[in-house]
Each structure stands twice: as structure tokens, then as C-alpha cells.
């Protein structure tokens, strides 16, 4: 549809949907289109939208697939024209790749709310991050949910806004230019989505389901607040709210 819609949401796989993001947009009566990248022969022109949000998925930014080739070309247009962009997980990695960064395996993978030592996955902010409008109203560090097996290395074109203590996946939040952002963690999960992921994702299925559900319930209020705040801040800086 494009014209007349202000926000484009791009999805790589069915169960990794917009979740909290879509709930927020519907509450605001906000116009948006959702496109499934894995089903689309031609990707939308990002210049038809005021902003783009690209979600996560099991694919890799290093894939040689036609879908990934088109996505990286599309991101080149986003960066060339300064279109506000927010990439989540894979959407962050493709942003880094499009900006000339490197995407490589993260060993071990980061999965869940806590690492193998029971330390909570958290994001700290750099000075650039603390001053960035994306994080207005958020106190760092804040807990996050992780589900990824790759990480990114940066170049001079990419600004680090948020990081983790873990040396395996230090770079967690990036910005390219003034308005293209990538966040490694997932902040968009609803309880329904979380249940779907527990049923679907092989890394989560290998973990203790009851313990994951307990952790999600314990952190839900703070987790949802972080997600809604990040989205509202992005829409504000994109000039949409």
C-alpha cells in the first residue's frame, strides 16, 4: 500500500511478529503496513514511508539468499536518504552489515533473560547512548531478553550506543548516521508471543520452560515498560508522534 501509511514494519518469519509494537500502534490509531520479507518478491520502497522497523528472524545477514540481498539493498536506500529505521536482532545485524560492519557468530549464543552463570542480560549505555533521544526516560542498565547466535563488529560509520559486559557480544545497540538504530535484544514480546517462541524456537525448547515462564512473569512489567518507551521514543524522533 505504501503511500498514505507512515510506518513500515518488516517481518522475517511468522512467529517473530511486532507484538508490543503493534499493540502500541493500535492504541495510538497509528497507520502502518506489515510486510513479510520471506514471502515478498519485491520489497517496499522505504521512501514511501516516514520510518521503517525491521524485526528479528533465524536468518543471517551473511546469507546469500535473494531475500537478504534485497533487504541489504533496501537498507542502502534507508541510509542514503536518512529514513528513520529501527532494527531488532536480525534487523540490527542487517543494519550493521549494510553500513560496512561485520556480522559473525556469537559463541556461546545468548538465549533468555540470564546467561549460564545466572547473570542477568543487561544493556549499559555509552555516553552517546545516554544522550540519545532513543533512551529518553530509560535508566540504564536495563534487563533484556536475548535470542541470537550472531553479533556485530563496528566500523567508523557505526556509533555504539549500548553494550553488554559479556565480551562475546559486547555491541548491543548501534546507530548509523542520525536516525538509523539497531538493538540486538528483543523488547517486543507479548505473553502470547513468548508462548509461541517457547513452542517454536529450538534453543528455547532446549531450556526449562517453566523457569523461562517464571522469569518472564517476574520481569513483565519492567520489560513491557522498556519496550513501549523505546518505541515511543523512536516514533518521536522520527517525527511521527
Distance from C-alpha of 9 to C-alpha of 102, rounded to nearest angstrom: 24
Distance from C-alpha of 157 to C-alpha of 61, rounded to nearest angstrom: 18
Q: What is the pLDDT of residue 178?
A: 96
Q: Quick count: other Cβ atoms within 10 Å of Cβ 211?
A: 12
Cα distances from 147 to residues 106, 121, 165, in angstroms, run 11, 11, 17
State the pairing for strand pair 51-54/85-88. Answer: parallel
Q: Rounded to the nearest 5°, which phi and psi values hold at 104?
A: -145, 165
Domain residue spans of the chain: 6-238
Distance from C-alpha of 23 to C-alpha of 228, rounded to nearest angstrom: 9
Distance from C-alpha of 122 to C-alpha of 27, rounded to nearest angstrom: 28
Cell 542502502 -> residue: 76
Cβ contact 48:4 at 8 Å: no
Per-residue pLDDT tens listing for the chain (241 residues): 444 458 999 999 999 999 999 999 998 888 899 999 998 888 999 999 999 999 999 999 999 999 999 999 999 999 999 999 999 999 999 999 999 999 999 989 999 999 988 999 999 999 999 999 999 999 999 999 999 999 999 999 999 999 998 778 999 999 999 999 999 999 999 999 999 999 999 999 999 999 999 999 999 999 999 999 999 999 999 999 8
Task: Give the residue from 122, 114, 154 showing the smallest Cα distance to 138.
Answer: 122
* Burial of residue 64, with CB atoms counted within 10 A of its CB: 0-12 exposed, 13-18 middle, 19 or more buried: exposed
Q: What is the pTM of this model?
A: 0.95
Q: Quick count: other Cβ atoms within 10 Å of Cβ 116?
A: 8
How many Cα atoms are found within 13 Å in the side-chain-facing hemisphere of 154? 18
**With respect to CATH, is domain 6-238 assigned 1.10.645.10?**
no
DSSP state of 119: P
Cβ contact 112:215 at 8 Å: yes
Q: Quick count: other Cβ atoms within 10 Å of Cβ 157?
A: 14
Distance from C-alpha of 191 to C-alpha of 217, rounded to nearest angstrom: 9
Amino acid at each position: 500500500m505504501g503511500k498514505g501509511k507512515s510506518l513500515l514494519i518488516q517481518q522475517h518469519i511468522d512467529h517473530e511478529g511486532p507484538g508490543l509494537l503493534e499493540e502500541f500502534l493500535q492504541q495510538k490509531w497509528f497507520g502502518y503496513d506489515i510486510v513479510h520479507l520471506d514471502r515478498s518478491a519485491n520489497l517496499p520502497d522505504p521512501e514511501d514511508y516516514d520510518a521503517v522497523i525491521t524485526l528479528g528472524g533465524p536468518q543471517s545477514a551473511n546469507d546469500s539468499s535473494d531475500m537478504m540481498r534485497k533487504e541489504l539493498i533496501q537498507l542502502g536506500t534507508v541510509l542514503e536518504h536518512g529514513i528513520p529505521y529501527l532494527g531488532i536482532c536480525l534487523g540490527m545485524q542487517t543494519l550493521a552489515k549494510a553500513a560496512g560492519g561485520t556480522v559473525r557468530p556469537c559463541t556461546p549464543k545468548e538465549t533468555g533473560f540470564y546467561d549460564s552463570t545466572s547473570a542477568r542480560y543487561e544493556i549499559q549505555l555509552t555516553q552517546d547512548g545516554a544522550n540519545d533521544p532513543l533512551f529518553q526516560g530509560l535508566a540504564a542498565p536495563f534487563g533484556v531478553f536475548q535470542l541470537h547466535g550472531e553479533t556485530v563488529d563496528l566500523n567508523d560509520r557505526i556509533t555504539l550506543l549500548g553494550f553488554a559486559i559479556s565480551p562475546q557480544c559486547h555491541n548491543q545497540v548501534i546507530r548509523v548516521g542520525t536516525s538509523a538504530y539497531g538493538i540486538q535484544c528483543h523488547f517486543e514480546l507479548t505473553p502470547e508471543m513468548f508462548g509461541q517462541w517457547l513452542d517454536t524456537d529450538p534453543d528455547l525448547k532446549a531450556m526449562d520452560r517453566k523457569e523461562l515462564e517464571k522469569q518472564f512473569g517476574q520481569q513483565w512489567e519492567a520489560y513491557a515498560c522498556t519496550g513501549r518507551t523505546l518505541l515511543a521514543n523512536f516514533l518521536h524522533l522520527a517525527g511521527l508522534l
